[in-house]
Chain A
């Protein structure tokens, strides 16, 4: 127990109840809990109770724009409705495609850039700053930017495409091109972050294995694929998990760029959940989709959570 000098000067003024409260506040053993309390209470209000609430809502038939209508127990009906709806499965398919392509390409581009920057060349810092520019951009601003660039009439992308000899496209209104266009925006926003993390990990790798391999006559490609890449795997996994989680719940880009159109071709389940809950006022169905998203994201992130927790544990020891 650490030494402390008594600081309460005039105890006579305090009633018994006040003494107990003071004891709670000042008791040494409770201090860390008081320090954690604001965070934990906040999380309970914002995250954990709403989680249970959303789960409960998924079993109700509840339209929140009609308060006079009674809230009815729906059992599994919401689940049955959602899972037998073709739009849901279309949205799910779109989300999976978006998730895999967007994650894959942003990781590839990030890694490629990191390898390019892993050497000395004139203007390195300037180039790096320029590539990192989009990193902290607001998703809404990024989505808007690309909505403008992809605009069928006034967009700059059409100009570049014309230069290459392809006629004008109505990118975001085309069933085939809308989802890829959103992927481009997503990659634009997140590849710099992947690049930064991969670059930092490359810099931090031990040099000895590569030196040894070079002395033994390994080619640069061999060294990269056989030694550097395997050493990067842990960082790889982390960044892939982060990207998968983010892309699975993609919302901002869809909301700004296409609103799920044309014909549901860019509908994702994050956006579908929002639509059901806040545009169709159907709390029950919206919550079912929300719970579905939650389960998938938690499955993806389980690995990530364990790693972070291990890190935090180490910091205590």
Chain B
């Protein structure tokens, strides 16, 4: 691909360009920088009129939220929920995407419409009656109900994404395996899943982050023992005196996975999206 050749012909223009760029970077990066550093500060450095940039690092904020507020348990909840959701979405998403791309299904239009439009139904419109249903059968405040809700609500998008990957695998592969007497079950598990590995990796990242970040379902469906991090944080704000040190430490932990993943996958994100756009 030939690169466009916008040459910026004077130093003045370059200066303006970089000033704009640095302003943008500052706007997007400073909040994260500020939260992370605040969580490492002593009390005197947090509650000041003037932002303190040089400070002595302390881990006591983290120590405190784990010791006083039982943060570890909720961290574990979040981790268990997000991991289970990821595994479920990967497997059942691939299964559905495979079915949609390999067979002509009766009522195809309705099935695909049902799957795609599910994502458009705002959670707030489902929650009143789903909550009543869940509390009637006594599954509110369990991790399972949250896992179910996250996985189901996250699936349609993933099915759509994985369908693109399955489409690139030639059907000859299926046929060869079937003629050799392979069952559909084994064909799917041992041949199809490995061949869409890149798609599954993307799925894993997106599902994990989706479940880890999700707030509304978790807020309504969990009460006490199975709360996830976003819910715990939202409750922590409600205290009379806002404890910014504790909150920033919690927020940093909540931020960590997404920051790491963005750093690690940025190149693939851009490349993947660009490739998708080229195919049109």
A interface residues with partner B (beta carbon < 8 Å): 2-5, 7, 31-33, 35-36, 38-40, 42-43, 45-54, 56-57, 64, 109, 113, 116, 118-121, 125, 127-142, 144-149, 151, 153-154, 156, 159, 188, 191-192, 196-197, 199-201, 203-204, 207, 210, 220, 235, 245, 249, 251-252, 255-256, 270, 273-274, 277-278, 283, 286-287, 290-291, 293-294, 297-298, 301, 304-305, 308-309, 311-313, 315-316
Contacts and interface: CB of A to CB of B under 8 A. Distances in A.
**Could you tell me the dominant secondary structure of chain B's interface residues?**
helix
B6 A118 contact: yes
| Range for the number of chain B residues in contact with chain A | 35 or more
Interface stretch (B43-51, B58-66, B194-202): B43-51
B126 interface: yes
A40 B111 contact: yes
A301 B130 contact: no
A185 to B, nearest CB: 9
27 contacts: A35-B98, A36-B105, A39-B96, A40-B114, A40-B115, A48-B118, A49-B133, A50-B129, A53-B128, A127-B25, A130-B28, A131-B24, A137-B32, A138-B213, A140-B229, A141-B233, A141-B255, A142-B31, A148-B34, A148-B247, A192-B28, A290-B127, A298-B121, A305-B120, A309-B109, A309-B112, A315-B167
In this complex, the member of B96, B103, B126, B128 whose beta carbon has the largest number of chain A beta carbons within 10 angstroms is B128
Contact of A54 (B99, B128, B148, B254): B128
A42 B117 contact: no
A200 B273 contact: yes
Contacts of B103: 31-32
**Could you tell me the dominant secondary structure of chain A's interface residues?**
helix
Given A131-B24, A197-B273, A251-B215, 13 more contacts: A32-B99, A32-B105, A43-B118, A50-B130, A51-B125, A54-B129, A133-B28, A133-B32, A134-B32, A140-B229, A153-B47, A252-B230, A309-B113
Interface in B123-155: 124-133, 148-149, 151-153, 155
B116 interface: yes
B262 interface: yes
B193 to A, nearest CB: 13
Contacts of B178: 2-4
B239 interface: no
Nearest to A271: B124
A38 B24 contact: no
Contacts of B209: 136
A217 to B, nearest CB: 16
B11 interface: no
A220 B6 contact: yes
Contacts of B132: 53, 57, 64, 283
Contacts of A141: 35, 213, 230, 233, 251, 254-255
Contacts of A54: 125-126, 128-129
A42 B151 contact: yes
Contact of B230 (A56, A140, A270, A286): A140
A196 B29 contact: no
B258 A136 contact: yes
Nearest to A311: B160
B216 interface: yes
A35 B96 CA distance: 6
B25 A131 contact: yes
A316 B104 contact: yes
A47 B150 CA distance: 12
Interface string B188-217: 100000000000000000000100110110
A203 B3 CA distance: 9
In this complex, the member of B28, B112, B117, B127 whose beta carbon has the largest number of chain A beta carbons within 10 angstroms is B28
B122 A294 contact: yes
B225 interface: no
A315 B96 CA distance: 13
B159 to A, nearest CB: 7
A255 B234 contact: yes
A26 B11 CA distance: 72
A274 B234 contact: no
Given A5-B181, A47-B121, A54-B125, A132 B262 contact: yes
Nearest to A276: B128
A116 B269 contact: no
A290 to B, nearest CB: 4
A210 B251 CA distance: 46
A290 B216 CA distance: 14
Given A4-B181, A129-B262, A149-B34, A251 B51 contact: no
A308 B166 CA distance: 16
A46 B114 CA distance: 13
Given A133-B32, A133-B262, A47 B153 contact: yes
A117 to B, nearest CB: 9
Contact of B213 (A139, A154, A207, A245): A139
A203 to B, nearest CB: 5
B274 A277 contact: no
B266 to A, nearest CB: 5
